[in-house]
């Protein structure tokens, strides 16, 4: 499960890069009942989204023109300079070099060897997510990629992840990941192989998606539609997992909503 006990290689923050941050924030406030709180003038009034009094996500302008209007997963690292060098050695690309954000921490943006956009975060005073694995908060992250094996090799070598393959129907598999040294209860995400034609928004490149927990998947999916977003798949039941829907917001940023079995993953 995804927790706030952050370690090297675990998701610590998620951020939506948008050409219209205010409109994007309004959408997610309607869908998830989030509240927006300014990050303060030092970070350009960067809006921090909160659920039940805890930080869940950030919504801001795109970092660079090459970044799609999409969600970015920030993974914690102990040494951002060394990790950034390792990104290049493994065939990835540094889109934004390590940059200090005042006393809050140090950030770098990168794409993996299949073009999937992600961020590195070496923490300072900013705590990151304060709530996870409950309705309205992040409960999982998922990579859609054209080559699970290549993605697994990249992230295992970069973060030390431990991965396991779960058999699916039609001889397919789903690869789950957890931090090095963490137990079986610390799987935080997975990877699924898809052909490039099924990834048109990012021109066939890999793509990280946040999975937000819902108490009622059908009700949240209806809210997505009512608020101007799209529901592409579902809601439908996934055996052993729960009820989910694949969605996008009005600016085409993709995300998944999940009503897990027994209330959590």
Cα-flanking dihedrals φ and ψ of residue 183, to 5°? -80, 180
Question: Are residues 143 and 250 both part of a single domain?
Answer: yes
């970092």: which residue's tokens?
63
63: domain CATH number is 3.10.180.10
CB-CB contact of 20 with 90 (8 Å): no
The tens digit of pLDDT for each residue in 171-205 reads 678 899 999 887 788 999 999 988 766 554 545 56
Cα-flanking dihedrals φ and ψ of residue 202, to 5°? -115, 30
Please indicate, yes or no, if residue 4 is contained in any of the structural domains.
no
Question: Are residues 146 and 257 both part of a single domain?
Answer: yes
Q: How many domains does the chain have?
A: 2
Question: Are residues 79 and 159 both part of a single domain?
Answer: no
Question: Are residues 25 and 102 both part of a single domain?
Answer: yes
Question: Are residues 191 and 259 both part of a single domain?
Answer: yes
Compute the chain's Rg from CA coordinates: 17
C-alpha triplet 15, 212, 157: angle, nearest 5°: 60
Please indicate, yes or no, if residue 215 is contained in any of the structural domains.
yes
Please indicate, yes or no, if residue 194 is contained in any of the structural domains.
yes
Please indicate, yes or no, if residue 129 is contained in any of the structural domains.
no
Model confidence at 117, pLDDT cuts 50, 70, 90, reads: very high
Find the range with the poorest average confidence among 10-14, 23-27, 67-71, 88-92: 67-71
Quick one: pLDDT at residue 250? 94
Strand bridging mode 117-123 / 173-178:
unpaired
Please indicate, yes or no, if residue 133 is contained in any of the structural domains.
no
Q: Which of 123, 155, 172 is the last residue of a domain?
A: 123
Please indicate, yes or no, if residue 66 is contained in any of the structural domains.
yes
**90: burial class by Cβ within 10 Å (0-12, 13-18, 19+)?**
middle
CB-CB contact of 77 with 8 (8 Å): yes
Question: Are residues 52 and 95 both part of a single domain?
Answer: yes
Question: Are residues 31 and 98 both part of a single domain?
Answer: yes
Q: Three-state SS for 47? A: strand
CB-CB contact of 76 with 88 (8 Å): no
**Which tokens is 224 given?**
């997505």
Domain that holds residue 147: 138-263
Model confidence at 105, pLDDT cuts 50, 70, 90, reads: very high
Cα-flanking dihedrals φ and ψ of residue 203, to 5°? 55, 40
Q: How far, in Å, are 82, 100, 217, 237 from residue 108 at the CA level? A: 12, 9, 34, 37
The tens digit of pLDDT for each residue in 44-59 reads 567 899 998 899 999 9
**54: burial class by Cβ within 10 Å (0-12, 13-18, 19+)?**
middle
pLDDT at 244 over 80: yes
Question: Are residues 148 and 240 both part of a single domain?
Answer: yes
Distance in angstroms (rounded) separating the CA atoms of residues 113 and 178: 20
Q: Which of 123, 155, 184 is the last residue of a domain?
A: 123
Please indicate, yes or no, if residue 1 is contained in any of the structural domains.
no
Quick one: pLDDT at residue 131? 94
Question: Are residues 246 and 177 both part of a single domain?
Answer: yes
Quick one: pLDDT at residue 262? 77
Mean pLDDT of 138-154: 94
Tell me 221's DSSP state: H
**Which tokens is 263 given?**
């209330």
Please indicate, yes or no, if residue 130 is contained in any of the structural domains.
no
Distance in angstroms (rounded) separating the CA atoms of residues 79 and 213: 31
Q: How far, in Å, are 10, 142, 166, 216 from residue 23 at the CA level? A: 29, 25, 38, 24
Q: Which of 88, 123, 158 is the last residue of a domain?
A: 123
Helix (H) or strand (E) holding 83: helix 80-89
**Which tokens is 131 given?**
């709530």
pLDDT at 121 over 80: yes
Quick one: pLDDT at residue 140? 96
Quick one: pLDDT at residue 246? 94
């Amino acid at each position: 499960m995804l927790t706030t006990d952050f370690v090297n290689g675990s998701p610590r923050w998620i951020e939506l890069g948008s050409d219209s941050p205010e409109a994007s924030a309004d959408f997610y406030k309607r869908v998830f009942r989030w509240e927006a709180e300014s990050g303060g003038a030092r970070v350009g009034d960067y809006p921090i989204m909160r659920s039940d009094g805890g930080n869940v996500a950030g919504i801001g302008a795109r970092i660079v023109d090459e970044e799609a209007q999409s969600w970015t997963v920030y993974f914690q690292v102990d040494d951002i300079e060394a990790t950034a060098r390792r990104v290049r050695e493994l065939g990835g690309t540094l889109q934004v070099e390590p940059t200090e954000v005042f006393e809050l921490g140090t950030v770098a943006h990168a794409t993996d060897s299949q073009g999937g956009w992600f961020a590195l975060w070496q923490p300072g005073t900013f705590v990151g997510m304060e709530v996870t694995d409950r309705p309205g908060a992040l409960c999982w992250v998922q990579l859609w990629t054209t080559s699970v094996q290549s993605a697994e090799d990249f992230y295992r070598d970069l973060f030390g992840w431990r991965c396991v393959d779960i058999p699916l129907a039609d001889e397919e598999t789903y690869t789950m990941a957890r931090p090095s040294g963490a137990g079986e209860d610390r799987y935080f995400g997975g990877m699924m192989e898809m052909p490039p034609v099924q990834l048109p928004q990012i021109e066939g490149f890999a793509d990280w998606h946040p999975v937000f927990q819902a108490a009622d998947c059908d009700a949240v999916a209806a809210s997505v539609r009512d608020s101007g977003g799209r529901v592409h798949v579902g809601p439908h039941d996934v055996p052993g997992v729960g009820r989910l829907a694949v969605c996008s917001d009005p600016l085409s940023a993709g995300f998944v909503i999940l009503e897990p079995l027994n209330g959590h993953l």
